[in-house]
Structure 1
Amino acid sequence: MITLPSPQQLRYLLALADHGHFGRAATACAVSQSTLSAGIIALERQLDAALLERGAAKRPVFTLLGLEVVERARQALGALEAVAETAAAARDPLSGPLRLGIIPTIGPFLLPRLMPALRAAFPRLRLWLREDQTERLVAQLEAGRLDLLLLALPCACGDAETLALATDPFLAALPAGHRLAARDRVPVGALSAERLLLLEGGHCLREHALDACGLPRGTLPGEEGFAATSLHTLVQMVASGLGVTLVPRLAVEGGVLAGTPVEVRPLEGEDGAEATSGRSLALAWRARSPRAAEFRDLAPAIAAAMNGA
């Protein structure tokens, strides 16, 4: 009969892989460094396999087998947690901790009205928030460090299940007095003749804006060294007359233009009607998550906050 590793041994191993340092891993597990080291050594003996290279390196170096065991351990602990989550969700839906990841082009503009609404509707729910770019949030979701994401589609969401909540149209943001500001709507094609300012690579909003303008992905001519790191910085660049940009309506309603002379106009499609270019705001969670029904129940409240209800 095979002797199975204990959940605690697997937690020690994952903490060491995630923190890359014995001391920090021990602190994360609330044990002494010697206890953590002894637990990992016991795991190696139990498996009769070397998971770490023993040498003079200051940081732990995993063997190839060790790296594979780390990923297997992550899956195994995720499955164990899912057992407990299933029981908890059945006992008391939408209560207890929920680790929510949110992208920075949504968070600052939605959270001020979303958080009070969720507290009122689900008083037993405790939200822990993590703001980061889409790619890193998806990686944390897959690793089991986050339960639910609030992001914009399309995105590279891996195997995550997604649920669209609302459409967030783009608006043209123009310096005060810009010639295009004299129009009620700005033709999408007219933006190709302007210096289009964008967020730096890694922000999904950059790709969505390029798609909305029908421009190829990549660095735009003259953009080197000038990409912004946040929507607020992008708006300040427009206010300084450096160019034009596209901003989501959600951010405008959330006050991103406050204190600036920047003017916004809806976009106009080729048929002369208001363009529908924008992004789709959505929830994402791990496929087969035992809390999927909870997340779907949460969706209407989040969508209402997005729509200003």
Structure 2
Amino acid sequence: MTLTELRYIVALAQDGSFSRAAERCSVSQPTLSVAIARLEDELGVQLFERGKGFVSPSAVGLKVVEQAQLALQEAEKVRQIAMCGRDQLEGPLRLGIIHTIGPYLLPQLIHALKSVAPEMPLAIEENMTANLADMLRDNELDVVIIALPFEIPGVLTRPLYDESFKVIVPRGHPWEGKESISPEEVAGDEVLLLKAGNCFRDQVLGACPQVSSPETDIRLGHSIGTIRCMVASGLGVSVLPDGALRHPYSNDMISVIPFRPPEPARRIALGWRAGFVRPKAIDALLAAVRGLKTPAYRLVD
């Protein structure tokens, strides 16, 4: 049974004439007649009653023709979907992004992407790096924005930008007047960190070796925004990425102190499966990132 044969029986049922059905299907009448007879043999039933000057579907033929019409409609949907897929910049792109990047990068990225690929909205999943890696591998996401290193078999990465770390302290803190600070100075019980499992927390611990593992929940925060507020309230100091401290996230209740060179930083990258079928979507995201004007993001060529 083929779609062509289904088209033939639908045409014959609608036209009631082998000659007219053959003309509609752009084939000869013998070709159409032989194909329908072959289908009847395959199914083991007579689909049409034939007489002198007339042809009409049998009782079972009516049901088969009705189902054939549905099958042809679904086949057309497949064709339409495939046609849409020819434009790689049309249709949603499933983007995963880690919590410490999403709120700060996405507003600018989406704005820039609109001018590059206006018909490609982002379906966004914000999650931890490990979860995003699983979702990318399982084809639940098309692309992810994460911090390096990100070494997953079958996944390609492209660096986007570097982002420096900054120390933040509440107004009136003894460090407030410092022009810069060394990583070794960031120590003590007053340092606030993200909860375990967050890659940025691990990067801060790696950059500031004197910071001990926190022992009380009061020194932990679920998000960068929470930690920023905790510092503003005077609970302690912290280390945050530069992009989370620029307008509109700046706060007149905290002071931002740069590290002494070389500043600790993280490298942000794009990751996607090696066999991803929309490479132009990757190019569009890269182009949108290159259009960002935020000083916090030092673009990587």
Asked whether the two chains share a fold, i.e. TM above 0.5, the reply is yes
In structure 1, list runs of 5 or more residues that go unmatched: 1-83, 269-273
**Other structure's SS at 2:291 match:** helix
Matches of 1:282 and 1:223, distance apart in 2 = 33
Report the equivalent of 1:236. Answer: 229
Q: Does 1:108 align with 2:103?
A: yes
User: Contact 2:99/2:128 (CA < 8 Å) preserved in 1?
Assistant: yes
Report the equivalent of 1:264. Answer: 256
Give the C-alpha shift of residue 148 in structure 1. 0.5
Within the candidate set 289, 292, 295, 1:305 is matched to 292
| 1:145 maps to amino acid | E
Matches of 1:288 and 1:296, distance apart in 2 = 15
Q: Does 1:284 align with 2:276?
A: no
Give the C-alpha shift of residue 152 in structure 1. 1.4
Report the equivalent of 2:117. Answer: 122
Structure with higher strand content: 2
User: Contact 2:147/2:267 (CA < 8 Å) preserved in 1?
Assistant: yes
TM normalised by structure 2 equals: 0.65
Q: Does 1:191 align with 2:186?
A: yes
Change (3 A) 1:207 1:155: farther
| 1:220 maps to amino acid | S
Matches of 1:134 and 1:254, distance apart in 2 = 26
**Other structure's SS at 2:221 match:** coil
Larger mean CA deviation between 155-164 and 94-103 belongs to: 155-164
Change (3 A) 1:231 1:287: same
TM normalised by structure 1 equals: 0.63
Identical pairs, percent = 33
RMSD: 2.7
**Other structure's SS at 1:179 match:** coil
Report the equivalent of 1:146. Answer: 141
Matches of 1:170 and 1:158, distance apart in 2 = 29
Larger Rg belongs to: 2
**Other structure's SS at 1:256 match:** coil
User: Contact 2:191/2:219 (CA < 8 Å) preserved in 1?
Assistant: no
Cα-to-partner distance string for 1:126-159 (whole Å, 9 max, x where unaligned): 2111111111111111111110111112246454
Matches of 2:274 and 2:163, distance apart in 1 = 25
In structure 2, list runs of 5 or more residues that go unmatched: 1-79
